[in-house]
Amino acid sequence: MSQIWSPSRLTRLTRLTRLTRLTRLSSIVFNGLLFFQSALIVTGGAVRLTGSGLGCPTWPQCTGDSIKPIAHQAQGQLHAWIEFGNRLVAWIIFILAILAIFIVIKKFRERRDFKRLRALAVLQLLGFVGQVVLGGITVLTKLNPITVSAHFLLTIPLIAGALSLRNRIYQKSTTSISKKTTSALNVVLLLTILVLFVGTLVTGTGPHAGDIQAKRYHFGERNISFIHGGIVLILIAAILYLLIMIRTNEPKEVTNSFGQRALIFLFIALAQGAIGYIQYLTKLPEVLVAAHLVGATLIWVSAWGLYINADKADKKEFRKI
């Protein structure tokens, strides 16, 4: 008995319990960051689609001198709470980013990629600061489309950073791909970013501004939707080309794993493209616009996931130099 409860055993047990707790916390924090960075796009969309953009008309307070909505607020309770909910998600990200930095420093100091992990965690915090500033400017400029677009586009590197951080923490394996496949993958990634960027211009031109009086871009709804949809077609062609490159240049293991991921990406892009065309032809019902936003988030997570899963040929050559 005395052997079981010897002081050294107890210390080891306490350390083990602490480590288990930290591991559990890590899982919540790193998965949580990815989840909430992605959710921010959807909650931001909910604000726009319900016309709650100025539900909290001041910043950083919601109204007057209250940080949260108050009873009988002029903007209405629903609008105020939807906008406040979006702000809350941003605060959750802040807490998770602080915890991520703490865990990286505490638990992963000995890792070879410690500096990279720390930089990724710090970027999540800086991204939060950027979002707070942009969110504030968005409210103060009464939903100017440039700041609304920028607000969306800032989530793109933040989601990418959260996914990279999570995959690095869990030391997810990567797949070696050839030069030709690497080139095709780079094109797919660039086109995906372009589609997302032009998508925000379509939104900034369209009717779902978040407030009736908000300014709009003057691209013309038809023209900008046409350009957006056109680039999507080029993207789909590029994904097909990537699949052909994988089939013709890579060994069977790569075709099975990486090829499978690329195929899933193709299906998501096709589904998202279909939602895009249907919402355009049915005059942008809110429910389809919301589905299109969820789709845009999924597209980006799977495009970036595919990109970082690849051990790229150009990177290997660069390392040799």
The C-alpha atoms of residue 32 and residue 232 are separated, in whole angstroms, by: 30
Count CB atoms within 10 A of the CB of residue 187.
16
Q: Which stretch binds ligand HEM (CB under 6 A): 81-89, 157-165, 170-178, 228-236?
A: 228-236
Count CB atoms within 10 A of the CB of residue 90.
17
The C-alpha atoms of residue 119 and residue 97 are separated, in whole angstroms, by: 11
The C-alpha atoms of residue 284 and residue 270 are separated, in whole angstroms, by: 18
Among 199, 246, 265, 310, binds ligand HEM (CB under 6 A): 199
- Residues facing residue 175 across a β-bridge: 310
Q: Is 280 in the site for ligand HEM (CB under 6 A)?
A: yes
Q: Is 273 in the site for ligand HEM (CB under 6 A)?
A: yes
C-beta of residue 242 within 8 angstroms of C-beta of residue 185: yes
**Could you write out the DSSP letters of every residue in 237-281?**
HHHHHHHHHHHHHS-HHHHHHHHHHHHHHHHHHHHHHHHHHHHHH
Among 206, 211, 250, 258, binds ligand HEM (CB under 6 A): 206
The C-alpha atoms of residue 175 and residue 220 are separated, in whole angstroms, by: 43
Q: Which is nearer to ligand HEM, 159 or 165 (CB)?
A: 159
Shortest CB 49 distance to ligand HEM, Å: 8
Shortest CB 30 distance to ligand HEM, Å: 25
Q: Is 53 in the site for ligand HEM (CB under 6 A)?
A: no
Locus of tokens 């407030």: 211
**214: left (phi > 0), else alpha (psi -120 to 50), else beta?**
beta
End-to-end CA distance of the chain: 61
Q: Is 145 in the site for ligand HEM (CB under 6 A)?
A: no
Q: Which stretch binds ligand HEM (CB under 6 A): 163-171, 212-220, 248-256, 269-277?
A: 269-277
Q: Which stretch binds ligand HEM (CB under 6 A): 11-19, 23-31, 159-167, 221-229?
A: 221-229
Among 29, 165, 191, 196, binds ligand HEM (CB under 6 A): 196
Q: Which stretch binds ligand HEM (CB under 6 A): 7-15, 18-26, 224-232, 309-317?
A: 224-232
Binding site for ligand HEM (CB under 6 A): 45, 152, 195-196, 199-200, 202-203, 206, 208, 225, 228-229, 232, 235, 269, 272-273, 276-277, 279-280, 284, 289, 292-293, 296, 299
